[in-house]
Amino acid sequence: MTIEHKPPEHPHPALSEPAEQLASAAGSVAVRRPASAEVPQHFSSVDAAYGTPFSPMDQVQQERFDEMVPLANRSVAVERSPDGGERIIGGQVRIDSALSLPGGASVPVAALSGVGVEPGAHGRGAFRALIREHLREARARGDAGSVLMASLTPLYGRFGYGPATETANWEIDAPAAALQVGAPTQGPVFVEHARGARLHEVLDAVWRAVGTARAGTLERAEAWWRVVLAPEETWLGGGKLMVARHGTAPGYVLYTVDGEHGRQGLAEADIRIRELVAADPAVELDLWRFIAGLPWGRTIRWHYAPVDPAALFWLRDPRQLRRMSHFDFLWLRPLDMPRLTAQRRFAADGRVTLEVTDPVFGDLAGRFALQVRNGSGTWAVADGPADLALSIADLGAMWLGGGSSRQLRAVGRIGGDAAAAHRLDAMLACDGPPRAVARF
């Protein structure tokens, strides 16, 4: 079934309060908007948090980034001295996006990125103040949730984030990348020659189809695509990217080829799959075949890839596909459970009563009934005893279909009735684990 991909509907599109109104004192630390003159201090401070020397972007790069993340989407943590002076000690940015849910509909989410507090200023609550301000703002804007990628896993559970998707880094020697005879196919793959806005359009159409097929896809605005396909390589994408596209169905691959003349003058290339996305496993296999068939291939690396690539099930020798690491990827912090419920499709009907705790927003905690009829759900305040007791972070971890309440109950994170955990799993089940491809 195809559900139309809806753009974010932010009820408060222009968050234009002056900085003073955003300042939330936390001891001597406050969070506010940076002024445009403070951009270098903001990024220098966050770079210092990650141990990277700050180097300013050139003008074109800066404009590209500013369009994707305008000043109004940035916050800095400042330390205030008794004489009224201020020093920027950290910051964060918010990307306005939408997240696809099981069934294909999307809900507006605030994607939190670039959170850092410089060394020397740690332990004074700056991080806590930044995240709380982000969550307050996201809720005020009407976002259904906040999402992030965690560089440190112990940080975010305390704010109600749960790990909702996983990712893996795969590597294979190119000669071992052949698929079995008879592996599904949908048709040919072509090199895509379009550039600029036309290319963004082509890739975005695929991206939207992929989002409706699997939960976990973040909508990319045109400004985000410009960064993903920029000539310079950054964490968000870019570089010397080659593009190939499926000829008959939604799917594309972004890749780089790093070639050299190796031993005895033989041409050899390390191929990096930067993004391989397809709405259908057969299309994914066609894109894999294209990559495996590139000339001179020595190694193929696919990092931040799905944990269940279709190739794993169709390689002639699946063990050759080495899983170099496997870790949490997209964390989801639910902010609007009624909306997250209404927009999601469920695999089974039923009713579960949940006692939900929330470490940040007392009004989101309480006893709720999740009721599903004909695959559609409602979330409402409930009376009577609860079947299961869990935190909002556990709901975030399970909502895209990637977690298991039975498992969380077995390890003691969720309390309550085994039959109810079984029921909840059946309701939330999906055909495969959710996939989040976009790094941010």
Nearer Cβ to ligand COA (68/77): 77
Nearer Cβ to ligand COA (49/215): 49
Rounded CA-CA distance 243/234 in Å is 17
**Residue of 116, 216, 237, 250 interacting with ligand COA (CB under 6 A):** 116
Residue 241 gets which letter from DSSP?
A: -
Minimum Å gap between C-beta 324 and ligand COA is: 21
**Do the bridges between strand 145-149 and strand 330-334 make them parallel or antiparallel, or are there none, so unpaired?**
antiparallel
C-alpha separations of 201 from 194, 209, 264, 338 in Å = 10, 13, 44, 32
How far out from the chain centre does Cα 305 lie? 12
Nearer Cβ to ligand COA (29/271): 29
Q: Does 124 bind ligand COA (CB under 6 A)?
A: yes
Residue span binding ligand COA (CB under 6 A) among the ranges 146-154, 208-216, 394-402, 409-417: 146-154
**Do the bridges between strand 251-261 and strand 145-149 make them parallel or antiparallel, or are there none, so unpaired?**
unpaired
Minimum Å gap between C-beta 121 and ligand COA is: 7
Residue span 42-81 as binding mask against ligand COA, x where in contact by CB under 6 A, dash where not: -------xx-------------------------------
Rounded CA-CA distance 425/346 in Å is 10
Q: Does 163 bind ligand COA (CB under 6 A)?
A: no
Rounded CA-CA distance 208/106 in Å is 10
Collapsing DSSP states into helix, strand and coil, what is residue 147? strand
Rounded CA-CA distance 357/355 in Å is 7
Minimum Å gap between C-beta 228 and ligand COA is: 20
Rounded CA-CA distance 169/362 in Å is 38
**Residue of 18, 82, 154, 295 interacting with ligand COA (CB under 6 A):** 154
Minimum Å gap between C-beta 125 and ligand COA is: 4
Nearer Cβ to ligand COA (132/367): 132
Nearer Cβ to ligand COA (50/190): 50
Q: Taking a C-beta distance cutoff of 8 angstroms, is the pair 84, 383 a contact?
A: no
Nearer Cβ to ligand COA (74/246): 74
C-alpha separations of 268 from 174, 256, 291 in Å = 10, 13, 14
Q: Which residues of the chain form contacts with ligand COA (CB under 6 A)? A: 49-50, 115-117, 122-128, 150-152, 154-155, 158
